Structure 1
Amino acid sequence: MPEAQRRLFDSHCHIIDHRFPIVANQGYAPPTFPLEANLAQARPLGVKAGAIVSGSFQANDQTYLMDVLPRLGAG
């Protein structure tokens, strides 16, 4: 199927934005992977929608998610 016709759903993606709290998990803090980086990788593959998953390094803080969701739209 040509890429232009793909309609993929990413069932598990992380947005890591160090403007929001990041808590090291067993000494590991992930590198930045903001929304823009995610979209730059996902769009060429035909990803049209997805599920953003919080990581343990985000603890119980959802401020990053509240920032991202309005920018993603309905998908």
Structure 2
Amino acid sequence: EAFTEHWKGITGYYLEATDESTPAKETDIPWRLKQMLDILVYEEKQRPAGEAGPCLEYLLQHKILETLSTLGKAEV
């Protein structure tokens, strides 16, 4: 649940951002991404090898990496 909340916080920033001149690195986005990474790493350590956990499934199903790539390219 924390994983999805962090993702919603990131996407919410882009949906509601009124000051697009603020670089992402000056927002809470880097912190949220780090939290998501930490959750994925923890989840991976708790699972048997080769078994995807719910957070990894969410990341894949919702194409989070593709979305982050698109958002990053748009900000350059």
Q: Same fold (TM over 0.5)?
A: no
| Higher RCO (Cα < 8 Å, 6 or more apart) | 1
TM-score w.r.t. length of structure 2: 0.32
Higher strand share: 1
TM-score w.r.t. length of structure 1: 0.32
